[in-house]
Amino acid sequence: RKNWSKVIYSTSISPRDILSGTAAPPTTPKNLDDEEFFTQVSTAPIVTEGDFDMSKEFVNVDDLREWEDEAMLDSVRGLFITGTSLEGEFK
Amino acid sequence: MAQSTAALQFSGHLGLRHRLVLAIVSGKPLRVDKIRPHDQNPGLRDYEVSLLRLLERITNGTVIEISVTGTAVLVKPGIIAGGSVTHDCPLSRSIGYFLEPVIMLAPFSKKPLQLTLRGITSDDRDLSADLTRTVTLPYLQLFGVSDGLELRIKKRGCAPLGGGEVQFLCPIVKQLKTLHFVERGKIKRIRGISHAVRVNPQFSNRMIEAARSVLNRYIPDIYLYSDVYKGEDSGKSPGYGLSLLAETTTGALHSAEAISQPGVAPEDIALQASRALLSEVRHGGCVDRAHQMLVLLMMVLGSEDVGRCRMGEPTERTIQFLRDVQTCFGTTFKIVPADPMDRSSTELMFSCYGIGYVNANRTLA
């Protein structure tokens, strides 16, 4: 796990490198430890839009395609008030 | 402020807005150099110059010097005056670009600020006027800036020609409240504003329907409002967009939006906004990514007590902002995992000791 205080205050690693470093650990749920399961080790190059000083994060439409998957949609159900009772059913 | 007046020195054009805010709040001179030195068109852009001008007008006594090539700028801040100001924003950026730093400064004015901005009200780079109204202002209320805080969208204006107008009213405060926002809660409702100007008004309803196809599965309390502006009030260019926000039981807000693009159907824009909202929700924390900076700044400026806030992982801008805060105020945040026992959780707990910033401009009045 990353020591955020240390990387932010005690190093001069650029913000982008700090974040792309965090993308390296598998972002998949822990219980999927099958060896065949592919884990993403690097993401597509960040589109910088000419390094604009933007308030909003650049939204990559392809990244949003993951939400076409029903299982993915159900994975955040626990974050809603209606999710508590349903969460038990899925487990 | 009676602090040391050693100048703040930064390089590059990124983060100019928050650096200007830090300089003006702290009263320290700011020097930024190497602004796009290797660009085909070096130096400050028109919108950056416009922002400097806007800040010059809401303050009193600010001196701004721009080098001949435009690649360096020196700002000697004056006091934040507030009052009634009208500003025409260039069409290269939306009014969200200009509102963001102004919102950070306005509570510390000498007189309440009444700012009228004209230009583009929503684009894909900065927060739209809708989200600024429905999300940014509630975040400010957490710190005790509330009575009379308002953003009125008088006219909408889409890119490229704009023609929109918003009015931002901000009260002044003596000191900010310390924030303790550690419980994220569960999402209890989703709200949204769908707008369509100078196109078929049905576009707005089509977006609402498509967004519901994704979000209805989670909770029944979804209200998506179709905001119709007609005639003069609809600006000069056609466009449409959907902004969404999810509110939790503890009052945490997560927001996302999508704006019309050429050749993309309204349904796809709505799906994009809905999915972006789910991504934002999954990111976690009590504060969404676009507002991390605002909340952290207000925590730093808060009363001399420890403020705490649960957030998702910081964004690039937030990381740079945290470093710049340290340079300016010497304040560092303690950043620890919010749930140390749960190793799959990426949520973090940000805490810091407020500097006890007092609005000296107000007491002088």
Mutation target among B34, B218, B243, B259 for the A interface, most CBs of A within 10 A: B218
Among 3.90.1150.10, 3.30.360.20, 3.30.470.20, 3.40.50.2300, name the CATH number for the domain at B187-283: 3.30.360.20
Does residue A36 sit in the same domain as residue A67?
no
Closest-CA distance, A12 to chain B, in angstroms, reads 10
Among candidates B276, B282, B333 on the partner chain, residue whose Cβ is nearest the Cβ of A59: B276
Domain limits at A75? 52-91
Measured at the CA of B292, the angle between CA B191 and CA B145, to 5 degrees, comes to: 75
One domain for residues A91 and A56: yes
Residue in chain B closest to A9 (alpha carbons) equals B323
Give CA–CA dist A34/A28, Å, rounded: 11
Whether A9 and B316 lie within 8 Å, measured CB to CB: no
- Distance to chain B for A16, nearest Cα, Å: 6
Give contacts of B281 with chain A, Cβ < 8 Å: 76, 79
Q: CA nearest B270: which of B200, B212, B187?
A: B212
Q: Are residues A34 and A58 in the same domain?
A: no
Does A4 contact B124 at a Cβ distance shorter than 8 Å? no
Structure pTM?
A: 0.90
In a shared domain, residues A39 and A1:
yes
Q: Do A19 and B13 touch (CB under 8 A)?
A: no
- The answer, yes or no, to whether residue A29 has pLDDT greater than 90, is no
Dist. CA B322–CA B122, nearest whole Å: 27
> What are the two backbone dihedrals, phi and then psi, of residue B257, each rounded to the nearest 5 degrees?
-155, 160
Instruction: Specify whether the CB–CB gap between B182 and B336 falls below 8 A.
Output: no
Per DSSP, the three-state class of B170 is strand
Cβ neighbours of residue A10 under 8 Å, at least 6 residues apart?
A: none
Q: By the CB < 8 Å criterion, does A54 face chain B? A: yes
Pair type for strands B306-311 and B348-353:
antiparallel
pLDDT of residue A25: 44
Asked if the peptide bond before residue A45 counts as cis, ω within 30 degrees of 0, the response is no
pLDDT, residue A49, reads: 45
pLDDT at B116: 98
Contact B125 A54 (CB under 8 A): yes
Helix or strand holding residue B307 (H, E): strand B306-311
Q: Where are the domains of chain B?
A: 1-80, 81-173, 187-283, 288-358
Identify which of A53, A61, A83 has the shortest CB distance to residue B272.
A61
Boundary-marking domain end, from A9, A25, A43: A43
Higher pLDDT, A12 or B131: B131
In this predicted structure, the answer to whether residue A23 has a pLDDT above a threshold of 50 is: no
Locate the chain A residue with the closest alpha carbon to B291.
Answer: A55
Structure-block tokens of residue B43: 């130096």
Q: Is B335 on the interface with A (CB under 8 A)?
A: yes
Q: Which residues on chain A are in Cβ contact (under 8 Å) with B218? A: 76-77, 80, 82-83
Give the chain A residue whose CA is nearest to the CA of B98.
A55
**CA angle at residue A83 from A82 to A85, to 5 degrees?**
90
Residues in A touching B255 (Cβ below 8 Å)? none
| Interface check B51 vs A, CB under 8 A | no
pLDDT score, position B2? 47
Tell me whether residues B217 and A73 touch, CB distance under 8 A.
yes
Residues of chain A contacting residue B186, judged by C-beta atoms under 8 Å apart: 79-81, 83-84
Same domain, yes or no, for A4 and A38?
Answer: yes
Nearest 5 degrees, angle CA A52-CA B328-CA B293? 45
B337: exposed, middle or buried (Cβ count in 10 Å: 0-12, 13-18, 19+): middle
| Architecture label for domain B1-80 | 2-Layer Sandwich (3.30)
Q: How confident is the model at residue A33 (pLDDT cuts 50, 70, 90)?
A: low
Q: Distance between CA B257 and CA B227 in Å, rounded?
A: 15
Dump pLDDT digits (tens) for A37-70.
Answer: 666 655 544 444 457 788 888 888 888 999 999 9
Structural element, H or E, at residue B52: helix B46-58
Can you tell me the distance from the alpha carbon of B83 to that of B170, in angstroms, rounded to the nearest whole number? 10
* Total domain count, chain A: 2
Per-residue pLDDT tens listing for chain B (365 residues): 445 578 999 999 999 999 999 999 999 999 999 999 888 889 999 999 999 999 999 999 999 999 999 999 999 999 999 999 999 999 999 999 999 999 999 999 999 999 999 999 999 999 999 999 999 999 999 999 999 999 999 999 999 999 999 999 999 999 999 999 999 999 999 999 999 999 999 999 999 999 999 999 999 999 999 998 999 999 999 999 999 999 999 999 999 999 999 999 999 999 999 999 999 999 999 999 999 999 999 999 999 999 999 999 999 999 999 999 999 999 999 999 999 998 888 999 999 999 999 998 886 55
Put simply, the answer to whether B126 touches A54 (Cβ < 8 Å) is yes
**Which pLDDT belongs to residue A31?**
53
| Complex prediction ipTM | 0.86
Q: Chain B within 8 Å of A55 (Cβ-Cβ)?
A: yes
Provide the pLDDT for residue A36.
64
| Three-state secondary-structure class, residue B327 | helix
Q: How far apart are alpha carbons B132 and B170 in whole angstroms? A: 13
CA of B150: how far to CAs of B136, B137, B212, B362, in Å? 11, 8, 28, 20
Q: Do A5 and B334 touch (CB under 8 A)?
A: yes
DSSP strand pairing (B180-181 vs B306-311): parallel
Q: What are phi and psi of A62, to 5 degrees?
A: -65, -35
Q: Do B218 and A4 touch (CB under 8 A)?
A: no
Contact B289 A16 (CB under 8 A): no
Order of strands across the sheet that contains B8-11:
B8-11, B30-33, B73-76, B63-66
* Torsion angles phi and psi, residue A27, rounded to 5: -95, 5
DSSP helix/strand/coil, B94: strand
Strand B187-197 and strand B222-227: the pairing is parallel
CATH topology of domain B81-173: UDP-n-acetylglucosamine1-carboxyvinyl-transferase; Chain (3.65.10)
Task: State the burial class of residue B286 (Cβ atoms within 10 Å of its Cβ: 0-12, 13-18, 19+).
Answer: buried
To the nearest whole Å, the CA of A64 is away from the closest chain B CA by 6
Same structural domain, A74 and A91? yes
Sign of the C-alpha dihedral, residues B93, B95, B96, B98?
positive
**Whole-number Cα distances in Å, B232 to A70, B119, B164:** 43, 14, 9
